[in-house]
């Protein structure tokens, strides 16, 4: 799958096909857009030139459940994977899989994974 992040109808369709009737720990197009905005803000804050953003990835994880929730039940949530290509951000994967467990639960999180070229482009004063 490779869908440009600004194509709302195609992304909503892909999310629907993955989530079906799920009502909890779901993913939305708005959340993906917010993840891209936050990632770009972070990349600019690190002063990485935009030409080196290619290959950077964002992983959108659903909220975690608390450890006591797992008493014979399995918790699943919808994950989104985005990647930066030369022409912009694209959704490269949407999956409904098991969520992590932590002591008291936690909120959704977006993880920015820098490409090797982006890591090398970080100015010396940040290293």
Concatenating the DSSP letter of every residue in 57-75 gives EEEEEPPPEEGGG-SS---
Domain count, the chain: 1
Tokens of 95: 């999956």
Print pLDDT tens along the chain (127 aa): 999 999 999 999 999 999 998 888 999 999 999 999 999 999 999 999 999 999 999 999 999 888 777 666 778 999 999 999 999 999 999 999 988 888 887 889 999 999 999 999 998 875 5
Q: Containing domain of residue 63, as a range? A: 3-120
Distance CA 38, CA 31 (A): 11
Domain for residue 67, yes or no? yes
Could you give the 3-state DSSP secondary structure of residue 73?
coil
Q: Residue 127 domain-assigned? A: no
């Amino acid at each position: 799958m490779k869908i440009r992040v600004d194509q709302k109808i195609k992304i909503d369709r892909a999310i629907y096909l993955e989530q079906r009737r799920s009502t909890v720990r779901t993913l939305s197009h708005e959340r993906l857009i917010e993840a891209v905005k936050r990632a770009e803000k972070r990349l600019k804050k690190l002063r990485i030139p935009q030409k080196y953003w290619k290959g950077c990835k964002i992983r959108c994880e659903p909220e975690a459940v608390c450890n006591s929730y797992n008493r014979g039940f399995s918790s699943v949530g919808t994950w989104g994977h985005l990647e930066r290509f030369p022409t912009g951000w694209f959704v490269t994967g949407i999956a409904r899989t098991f969520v992590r467990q932590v002591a008291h639960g936690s909120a959704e999180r977006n993880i920015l994974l820098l490409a090797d070229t982006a890591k090398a482009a970080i100015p010396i004063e940040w290293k």
